[in-house]
A = this chain, B = another copy of it.
C-alpha cells in the first residue's frame, strides 16, 4: 500500500507528547517546541545512516529502526546526558506500510524505553537514508567530554567488544561461523544496547568518555588527541564478546581493538575512583572492565597479558578512505 507524505507522518510518526510540559509542541508544525529544564544544558547529536554503507540493503526494518535510534542514544550516553527527544529525517524510495510499520515500531519501542520522544522531522522520496538528531540534557560542567582524560587515569570499557565485527566477518565470508553463532553475533551488530544509564551514572566520576562506533583504537585515539595525553592498553584485558572469545587470539585482539559497531562506552577515571566506577556500573546494571591507563607521553601503546609490547597494524574506519 502506497501512502502520501502526510498520511505516512500521521500514521506512523505522530503520537501525542507524553510529557506536554517538556514537549510543548510535537510533530506537525514548522518547528517542534521543547522547554528545557531551567539551568540544564542541551546535548545534541546527529547521525546519518545510509543503506549499503551502515546497513545491508533489505535490512530487517524493525531492527533497523532500533539501531538508528540506538546509535544516537549512544552519543548521549557518551556525554552522560539524559535523553529528551529526537527528530527523524527519512528519505525512502517508496512509502510502504509493510516497511514503515515495523521500522517505526523498532524505533519507538526503544524511544519509549528511554523516555525519548519523536518531536519532528521530514520525509522525502529518495535512496534510503535515515538521519536522526537527538536531544538530551546534562547539568553544567557535568558532561563527559573527550578532552578531560588525565595522566594516571584508568581506562574502562563497558560490556564486551568485537562480536559485531565478528558477525560482519561471517556475513562477508571472511570467517566460517556456524549459523547459530553467526545469529548470536549478528544480534550485537543489528541490535546494539546504548549505555544510557551508565553514562549518566558516571557524571562526576569519569574524566572523559566516548562511545565506540569506529573501533576502540580509533575512538580512544580521539580522547587522547583532544586530551593531549597517551595511553597504554592491555589487548588481552579487553572484554571480548561471548562469540568472539571462542576465536583465535589474533582474531580476538584484532576485532576487540578495531572492530567497530560496538556502541560500548570507553571512559577514563582517576585510579582513586575505582570503587565509585564499579558502584555506578552496578547501579546501571552494566558490566565494566579496566583495560589500561592514561600516560602523559603521547601515543597509544598496546601490551599483551604479560606486559610485553604488541605491534599490531590497525586502522580505524574512515567513511571516505574505506571501500
- Complex: chain B residue closest to A316, CB-CB: B6
The answer on a CB contact under 8 Å between B46 and A145 is: no
List, sorted by A's number, 14 A–B pairs whose CB atoms are closer than 8 Å: A24-B140, A29-B146, A30-B211, A33-B43, A33-B138, A44-B120, A45-B87, A46-B131, A47-B89, A50-B91, A50-B125, A53-B124, A53-B125, A53-B126
Number of interface residues of A (CB under 8 A): 71
The answer on a CB contact under 8 Å between B48 and A89 is: yes
Interface string of A303-323 (1 = CB under 8 A from B): 000000000000000111100
Partner of A45, one of B38, B42, B88, B120: B120
By a beta-carbon cutoff of 8 Å, the part of chain A in contact with chain B is 2-6, 8, 24-25, 28-36, 38-39, 41-48, 50, 52-54, 75-76, 78-79, 81, 87-91, 94-95, 119-127, 129, 131, 133, 135-136, 138, 140, 143, 145-147, 209-211, 226, 318-321
With A28-B226, A36-B36, A44-B135 given, name 8 new contacts (CB 8 A): A3-B320, A31-B76, A31-B136, A42-B42, A44-B87, A53-B125, A54-B124, A129-B131
A222 to chain B, nearest CB (A): 8
- Known contacts A31-B75, A41-B24, A48-B122; decide if A87 and B319 are in contact (CB<8 Å): no
A65 to chain B, nearest CB (A): 17
The answer on a CB contact under 8 Å between B25 and A143 is: yes
Complex Cα–Cα for A146 and B124 (A): 21
The answer on a CB contact under 8 Å between A319 and B125 is: yes
Inside 8 A of A319's CB, which chain B residues have their CB?
5, 123-125
Partner of A30, one of B39, B75, B94: B75
Complex Cα–Cα for A123 and B47 (A): 8
The answer on a CB contact under 8 Å between B33 and A131 is: no
The answer on a CB contact under 8 Å between B135 and A91 is: no
The answer on a CB contact under 8 Å between A34 and B28 is: no
The answer on a CB contact under 8 Å between A46 and B120 is: yes
- Complex: chain B residue closest to A52, CB-CB: B126
Inside 8 A of A126's CB, which chain B residues have their CB?
50, 52-53, 127, 129
- Known contacts A95-B320, A129-B127, A320-B94; decide if A121 and B31 are in contact (CB<8 Å): no
Partner of A41, one of B33, B76, B88: B33
Inside 8 A of A89's CB, which chain B residues have their CB?
46-48, 131, 133
Inside 8 A of A121's CB, which chain B residues have their CB?
46
- Complex: chain B residue closest to A79, CB-CB: B31
- Known contacts A8-B320, A319-B5; decide if A41 and B34 are in contact (CB<8 Å): yes
A43 to chain B, nearest CB (A): 4
